[in-house]
Amino acid sequence: MRDIACYLRVSTAEQNEAGQRAEIERWLAGYGFRSDQVSWYVDKATGDDLDRPEIERLRKDIFRGLITTVVIWKIDRLSRTIRDGLALLCEWCDRGLRVVSVTQQIDCSGPVGKMIAAVLLGIAEIEQETRRERQKIGIEAAKAVDKYRREKGLPVRNYKGRGKGTTKANVAKVKRLKARGFTSKEIGILLGIGRRTVTRYLRGK
């Protein structure tokens, strides 16, 4: 009977769960668990909610009494919100399941484990909100740069992040824009780099 469930989650289909799996496999081997005791559940989806096929399959197997222990890489693999994460933990612990986070070395089954899990879920939720806020600020900044470039009659940039050779390309662009009469501040806005960087490029350092 496979009574140990190992749950993995990555945020997108392009990401690989191999790192999580390796950590969990080391934990299983260290405690002497056999491969025929283990079932794997892998979701490739955001942790913002519980609308995930593999977490749903796991919950059904738990309800059927097939699982006694749930092993996860980190507590935030279950959820990125306190509400959903604690709901899952309480649901499982009330059924007498053992829930283990291998990298954080906590057993969430007891009262102390639940308390620590609540703190970690809270941190995960804060990190998620911070990440979204940074993305929002980045988008707004990019829009502001686009508006500025349109006003100056320049083509709008396509923001794809820094690629190979970007630094050398920027040096040439900085010098061209300076020759056209743009100030260091304006060049920084146009190219999305700091004023100090503009000055350094102009000095050839």
Q: What is the pLDDT of residues 128-155, one digit of tens each?
A: 666 667 666 677 777 777 777 777 777 6
> Is there a domain that residue 171 lies in?
yes
For residue 115, the tally of other CB atoms under 10 A from its CB is: 12
Domain count, the chain: 2
> Is there a domain that residue 90 lies in?
yes
> How far is it, in rounded angstroms, from Cα 34 to Cα 38?
7
Of 74-78, 123-127, 161-165, the poorest mean pLDDT is in: 161-165
> Is there a domain that residue 129 lies in?
no
> How far is it, in rounded angstroms, from Cα 127 to Cα 122?
9
Domain finish residue from 122, 154, 185: 122
* Predicted confidence (pLDDT) at residue 200 exceeds the cutoff of 80: yes
CATH number for the domain spanning 101: value is 3.40.50.1390
> Is there a domain that residue 172 lies in?
yes
> Is there a domain that residue 21 lies in?
yes
Specify whether 32 is located in the same domain as 118: yes
Instruction: State the distance between the two ends of the chain, measured CA to CA, in whole angstroms.
Output: 66
Instruction: Give the CA-trace dihedral at 174, 135, 153, 192, to 10 degrees.
Output: -10
> How far is it, in rounded angstroms, from Cα 85 to Cα 71?
14
Domain finish residue from 87, 122, 157: 122
What pLDDT is attached to residue 30? 93
DSSP string of 134-193? HHHHHHHHHHHHHHHHHHTTPPPP------TTHHHHHHHHHHHHHHTT--HHHHHHHHT-
Specify whether 98 is located in the same domain as 197: no
Specify whether 118 is located in the same domain as 185: no
* Predicted confidence (pLDDT) at residue 8 exceeds the cutoff of 50: yes
> Is there a domain that residue 75 lies in?
yes
Structural domain containing residue 195? 165-205
* Predicted confidence (pLDDT) at residue 5 exceeds the cutoff of 90: yes
Of residues 184 and 24, the one with the higher pLDDT is: 24
Specify whether 169 is located in the same domain as 95: no
Structure tokens at 112: 């102390």
Specify whether 24 is located in the same domain as 97: yes
pLDDT in tens, 15-52: 888 889 999 999 999 999 998 999 999 999 888 888 99
